[in-house]
């Protein structure tokens, strides 16, 4: 079975990253979520990635704060797509994590998203877009979601519009 793997660097990341899981659940996309650290448990991280690949992980989402090397550690271990979500867990409000996640060397790509909740939700959407390349049912669900979002803008506007 194909699934999305979410790896968070510490338990403190869960409150934000549970939004990623909720988004995947909304579309019926299987996922698993674990805590593993690039620094504190590098062997656990590496072993998990290899095991998850064997079991059907298609996309990895890695969320971490501060030095945020988790996404890079995942990218170093797999050729599957890796999506990084910087967490706002330091005095720098996530800017350090953003730079650590986005500044990968050539040939080791990590798709880096926004800091925090928006990044968590968008990581689910990006993972689903990757899965939808060869999943017509998911493609339809994502298309319908996009149409619903556009209609909501029109509805919201009609409730407050002032036109000449």
Query: For residue 147, how many other CB atoms are within 10 A of its CB?
Result: 10
User: Does 13 show up as a binding residue in the annotation?
Assistant: yes
Q: Confirm if 64 and 86 have CB atoms less than 8 A apart.
A: yes
40 labeled binding residue: yes
DSSP string, 108-157: ---EE--SSHHHHHHHHHHHHHHHGGG-HHHHHHHHHHHHHHHHHHHHHH
Consult the annotation and say whether 156 binds a ligand. Answer: no
Nearest to 118 by CA among 96, 148, 81, 88: 88
Binding residues: 10, 13, 40
Binding residues for substrate: 10, 13, 40
């Amino acid at each position: 079975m194909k699934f999305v793997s979410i790896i968070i660097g510490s338990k403190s990341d869960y409150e934000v990253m549970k939004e990623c899981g909720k988004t995947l659940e909304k579309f019926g996309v299987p996922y698993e979520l674990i805590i593993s650290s690039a620094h504190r448990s590098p062997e656990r991280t590496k072993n998990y990635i290899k095991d998850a690949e064997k079991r059907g992980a298609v996309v990895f989402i890695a969320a971490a704060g501060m030095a945020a090397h988790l996404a890079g550690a995942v990218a170093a271990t797999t050729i599957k797509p890796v999506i990084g979500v910087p967490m706002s867990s330091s005095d720098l409000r996530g800017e350090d994590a953003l730079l650590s996640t986005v500044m990968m060397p050539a040939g080791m790509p990590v798709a880096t998203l926004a800091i925090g909740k928006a990044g968590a939700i968008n990581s689910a959407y990006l993972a689903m877009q990757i899965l939808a390349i060869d999943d017509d049912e998911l493609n339809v669900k994502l298309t319908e979601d996009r149409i619903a979002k556009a209609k909501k803008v029109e509805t919201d506007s009609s409730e407050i519009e002032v036109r000449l």
